[in-house]
Amino acid sequence: MGENEHGRRNLRILAVLFAVSCAPLTFLDLEVASQLAGALSLPLAVALAALSGVSASAGTSALFPWRRVLIVSAVVIAVLGILTVGYAVRENTKDLDVALSGHVSAAGVPWTDGGVATLVFPESHRPPRRDNLTLVVSLRNVRDSGDCENTALLDFIPVLDGKEGQAISVAPRTEVTLPLGGAQTAAQVKVVVHYEPANAPCKVLMQIDEAVLHD
Amino acid sequence: MINWSARVLRLSVVLVVLLSACTSTEEPSFPSVVNVGSAPSSPGWGFRDHTGTRSGFDHDLTEWLGSELNFDPVEVDVVTENRERDLKNNTVSMVIANYSISDHRLKQVEIVGPYMRTQQGVMVRSEDAGLYRSVGDLLGKTVCVTSGSTSLDQVKNDLGVKVTIVQKKVYEDCRLALHAGDVDVVSTDQLLLYGMAKTDNGVTIPANIVFGKEERYGVGLPLGDKVRCELIKGKLRKFIVDGLWDNFFRGNLPNVSPDSHRPDPNRLSECRSAPSTT
């Protein structure tokens, strides 16, 4: 068996071993697996690059271009690793729209003064994957009379792991940002509507115009 | 050399004059004549007598806004149910006629204000005044309201007792129906009722019978007319702060305390630049 053919056989064995060594990643969650693979690929690329230097100094046979194979592999793995890590970083920091509208406990039932609704995050956001939630909530008057949609005051209270945080009061259609950092299991948002006594008979429905999780 | 300097100087002067001429052609915010929708038969608010002379708080406000914003107001009669339509088809450019700010109307027109606050009440024949002490006493009665008004919606939904509703075009028709015995009660904003009682000794307004949400009057404009909205808003604030509001109120409703009806000048509604899609 010549030097060149020996090198190719070794390369095939290494490729199979590499593929088999990646098998445990398939048992992980896709997002975790991709992050882990991305993170491991960078030191692997560095190791391959270092190995290429060792093979050069060891004066290995010129019949099979080990050094070139190692350098090309290192570059390919490094590029893939950087792309994967970059993707993972973006996925973990980008703003996330959350569909809270289907989880309003007061849905379909008009609110009156003092009415409370609890906004519940969907299963995939328990606990929420970002530290802040920005919300815009508007009201719809269910009657033909009354100036109810803009005259209310809304209290937004973050509830982290069952514990109520500081309330923030804003007018409807006004952006409000609530801190959700530190929630270990689940976060909710309690919304309370207030009217001046003269508008206490107002009856309104709530609508979530915007709900974005962000850091 | 001197000639060139003189030419450059002359050219500069001509350019400055031309530029200033361009900037001075800015259109006024209001045309010289503006059609304003007014109520014709609400004593104390918007009333036109047999000679055509108009009077009332809203009339005084219309005249004052005209003088402040440099237009000549031409008051055009509007009925309650047609006010949005008249604004949308430009029959009138403005409505000052006990025009309550409501979410329903704000989807169709802009309403700047409020310049007045009141709540819905009732008016009965003086000889029946003893029969009406609370809202519960209205049970089974026939109540007259105007078509398309917020009063109609509140009698239907906020009164809390079952009544028979009769609809008329204007409140003067309701008042006549009350005296004719066709209806038991006339219901609308208490301030409108006080205005009617000013010229009719045969009616009483039970002070304790109020219901529904607060009514806030504003100046109606076509939707999205933000420039004029901001101008009128600024004038309304001045109107309330400078004391003219009190003068007009006392002059038109001398027996009514103005305090609970005066709005907060710092809480006038925001003007919108584009039609609301919600």
Residue type, B155: V
Mutate to test the interface with B, among A143, A147, A173 (most CBs of B within 10 A): A147
- Closest Cβ–Cβ partner in A148, A149, A201 for B158: A201
- Residues of chain B with pLDDT > 70, as a percent, come to 88
Of A140, A198, A207, Cβ closest to residue B213: A198
What contacts A187, CB < 8 A, 6 or more positions away?
A121, A126, A127, A128, A133, A158, A159, A160, A161, A180
Look at residues B121, B147, B115 and name the one whose alpha carbon lies nearest to residue B217: B115
Cβ within 8 Å, pair A144-B117: no
Partnered with residue B210 across adjacent β-strands are B121
Find how far residue A146's CA is from the centre of its chain.
Answer: 42
pTM for this prediction: 0.70
**Could you tell me whether strands B142-146 and B164-168 are parallel, antiparallel, or unpaired per DSSP bridges?**
parallel
In this predicted structure, the answer to whether residue A106 has a pLDDT above a threshold of 60 is: no
Residue A184, helix vs strand vs coil = coil
| Residue pLDDT, tens place only, B184-199 | 999 999 999 999 898 8
Q: Which among B113, B107, B105 has a CA at the least distance from the CA of B150?
A: B105
pLDDT over 90 for what percent of chain A? 11
Whole-number Å distance between alpha carbons of B180 and A148 = 37
B153 close to A (CB below 8 A):
yes
Q: Which residues pair with B100 in a beta bridge?
A: B217
Closest approach of chain A CAs to the CA of B103, in angstroms?
Answer: 5
The residue with tokens 């207030």 is: A194
Q: Which residues contact B127 (CB under 8 A, 6 or more apart)?
A: none
Angle between helices B171-180 and B190-198 (to 10 degrees): 60
Contact status of A138 with chain B (Cβ, < 8 Å) = yes
Mean pLDDT is lowest, of A52-66, A159-173, A182-196, B203-217, for: A52-66
Q: With cut-offs at 50, 70 and 90, classify the pLDDT of residue A86.
A: confident
Closest by CA to B236, choosing from B271, B272, B195, is B271
Q: Name the residue among B117, B153, B216 with its Cβ closest to that of A144.
A: B153
Interface test with A, best of B99, B103, B157, B215 (most A CBs within 10 A): B103
Calpha distance B147→B159 (Å, rounded) = 17
Distance CA A146, CA B154 (A): 9
Report the C-alpha gap between A64 and B261 in whole angstroms: 97
In the predicted structure, residue A102 carries a pLDDT above the cut 50: no
pLDDT at residue A127, as a whole number = 75
Q: CA triplet B143, B47, B66: central angle to 5 degrees?
A: 130
- pLDDT at residue number A116: 85
Which of B213, B267, B278 is the best substitution to test chain A (most A C-beta atoms within 10 A)?
Answer: B213
Partner-chain residue, chosen from B106, B117, B213, that has the shortest CB–CB distance to A202: B213
ipTM (interface predicted TM)? 0.70
Band (B169; pLDDT cuts 50, 70, 90): confident
Residue A20: CB atoms within 10 A of its CB come to: 9
Decide: helix, strand or coil at residue A56: helix
Query: What confidence tier does A68 reach under pLDDT thresholds 50, 70, 90?
Result: confident
Q: Comparing C-alpha atoms, which of B243, B222, B205 is closest to residue B93?
A: B222
Whether the CB-CB separation of A97 and A112 falls below 8 Å is answered with no
Q: How far is A143 from chain B (nearest CA, A)?
A: 8
What residue of B is the nearest CA neighbor of A113? B213
pLDDT digits 0-9 by tens, B7-29: 655 666 555 545 554 454 556 68
Which residues, 6 or more positions from B137, have their beta carbon under 8 angstroms from its beta carbon? Answer: B131, B209
Q: Please report the pLDDT score of residue A81 as a whole number.
A: 79
Q: Rounded mean pLDDT of chain B? A: 87
Average pLDDT over residues B89-98: 92
- Indicate if the pLDDT at residue B66 is higher than 50: yes
Q: Is the dihedral of CA A36, A38, A43, A49 positive or negative?
A: positive
Looking at beta carbons, which residues of chain A come within 8 Å of B157?
143, 145
Distance CA A13, CA A37 (A): 21
Residue range A2-20: mean pLDDT, rounded:
72
Residue B79: how many CA atoms within 13 Å on its side-chain side?
13
Residues A154-199 have pLDDT tens digits of 999 998 888 888 999 999 999 999 888 877 887 888 889 999 888 8
What value does the mean pLDDT take over residues A83-106?
A: 66
Q: Is the pLDDT of residue A61 over 60?
A: no
The string over B229-259, giving b where at least 16 C-beta atoms fall within 10 Å of a residue's C-beta and e elsewhere, is: bebbbebbbebbeeeebeebbeebbeebeee
Residues in chain A within 8 Å Cβ distance of B158: 145, 201
Closest residue to B102, CB basis, from A147, A196, A200: A147
- How many other CB atoms sit within 10 Å of the CB of residue B183? 24
Among candidates A209, A207, A193, A210, which has minimal Cα distance to A139? A207
Ranges A18-22, B122-126, B222-226, most confident? B122-126
Q: What length does chain B have? A: 278
The pLDDT, as a whole number, for residue A112 is 86
Whether chain B has a CB inside 8 Å of the CB on A166: the answer is no
In the structure encoding, which two tokens stand for residue A38, read together? 């991305």
Q: How confident is the model at residue A133 (pLDDT cuts 50, 70, 90)?
A: confident
B221 vs A107, higher pLDDT? B221
3-state secondary structure B127-184: HHHHHCCCHHHHCCCEEEEECCCHHHHHHHHCCCCCCEEEEECCHHHHHHHHHHCCCC
E strand or H helix at B10: helix B2-23
Which of A159, A24, A34 minimizes the C-alpha distance to A92?
A34
Centroid of chain to Cα B199: 21
pLDDT for residue A120 is more than 70 = yes
Alpha helices in chain A (DSSP H): 3-21, 30-57, 66-93
Cα–Cα distances (Å) from B255 to B123, B189, B191, B252, B262, in that order, read: 16, 16, 11, 9, 15
Per-residue pLDDT tens digits for A26-42: 776 666 777 777 777 77
